[in-house]
Amino acid sequence: MIDAAELIDNDFLRQYELKIDDHLAKIEYSLQERKIFLTKLVIPDEINAEGFSKEFLSAVFAQIEERNLSIVPTSPEIAKFVRSNRKYKRMLPVGLRI
């Protein structure tokens, strides 16, 4: 589902966006120094199929990792995703545990 869509980092609105059909999934963020605070996950019900959020978050984390940024998940959904996927815990800043 994500393969056909393009993940966009919208600097102006400070959010990662993925448009599927006429629906927009997004993760809002705040960038401070070398940390990106992931503050809100919004996935419309129409595209929230099984596994979509995992694919979406994985794609966003891959882009963040390319930029060598640490992640600080302040959204409960994103923190839960990091807790359940150990490979992303290495992207947390030193001393932060979730």
Confidence band for 3, pLDDT divided at 50, 70 and 90:
low
Looking at the predicted structure, is the pLDDT value of residue 4 above 80?
A: no
- Total domains present in the chain: 1
Rounded to 10 degrees, the C-alpha dihedral 67/72/73/74 comes to: -130
Query: Is the C-alpha dihedral spanning 10, 15, 16, 18 positive or negative?
Result: negative
Confidence band for 1, pLDDT divided at 50, 70 and 90:
low
Q: Are 75 and 63 in contact (CB under 8 A)?
A: no
Query: Can you say whether residue 19 is alpha, beta or left, with left for phi > 0 and alpha for psi between -120 and 50 degrees?
Result: beta
pLDDT digits (tens, 9 = 90+) for 41-90: 999 988 877 788 899 999 999 999 999 999 999 999 999 999 999 899 99
pTM for the model stands at 0.89
Cα–Cα distance measured from residue 90 to residue 49, given in angstroms and rounded to the nearest whole number: 28
Q: Let me know if residue 58 belongs to a domain.
A: yes
Q: 26 lies in which domain range?
A: 7-91
CATH number for the domain that contains residue 37: 3.40.630.30
